[in-house]
A and B are shown apart, each in its own frame.
Chain A
Amino acid sequence: MAQTDKKTIILFSGDLDKVLAAFVIANGAAAMGDDVTMFFTFWGLNALRRDQKPATPGKSPLQRMFAAMMPRGPEKLTMSHMNFAGAGPVLMKRMMRHNHVLSIDEMIATAKEQDIKMIACTMSMDVMGLRADELIDGLEFAGVATYLGEADEANVNLFI
């Protein structure tokens, strides 16, 4: 009979290729009937940013600088290799489309459809000056204990 396991994935990286790999594994595991929790921390949070810049009163100059320098959402992510000053991601996305691989936006939508739990790390949000309203809807906000609690129940745990 079908057995429901649990997988946890920490997405630390904000590299386009690694974010893609994380969402392929997450969506694949959910398709196989598993509960999946993704924990987004540090650069991985950039994959969850909205492309529209919301008003963010009260941010420090340093936080504003961080927010301005980091990629705003999946379309802006760079690659871990062969980035070529932005040409790499353009070519990668073209090849993904050619091979009918879902875009990261579509991967995120599929993850939501499959009830994958997406948790944004509040500590890294604070460090990087990211507010909840700068990130997409449907996230939970928590810290390391929540992630560890989830990982205790999982039989696979990945750090990407």
Chain B
Amino acid sequence: MTITLEELRDVTVAAVVDARGTSCPGPILAAKKGIPGVASGAVMEVMATDSGTLKDLPAWCKKMGHEFLGVIEEPGYLRLFLRKV
């Protein structure tokens, strides 16, 4: 379930993974590395510059069973949010 942009801006982020500057499959590798440090039910943010991440992180979430919340597009990079199941 994707939530609204307003809700996304207010969400409490437990961990931020900075995958900016990495190319495919860098962002999902970073997500894999980051997720063990996040508690179940908490939100992790993945920062990325590879535009493919817009599709890849939701696909990763679906596969891993996590809930993809949505994305905030900042100038020059993406902030993607997911809730660990």
Contact = CB atoms under 8 A, between A and B. Distances in A.
B21 interface: yes
Given A100-B21, A100-B22, A27 B63 contact: no
Helix, strand, loop or mixed for chain B's interface? helix
Interface residues on A, range: 10 to 19
Interface string B36-77: 000000000000000000000001100111000000000000
Interface residues of B, number: 16
Interface string B13-38: 00000000111111011011000000
B85 interface: yes
15 contacts: A2-B63, A3-B63, A27-B29, A30-B32, A31-B25, A31-B28, A31-B31, A32-B32, A32-B59, A33-B63, A99-B23, A100-B23, A100-B26, A101-B24, A110-B29
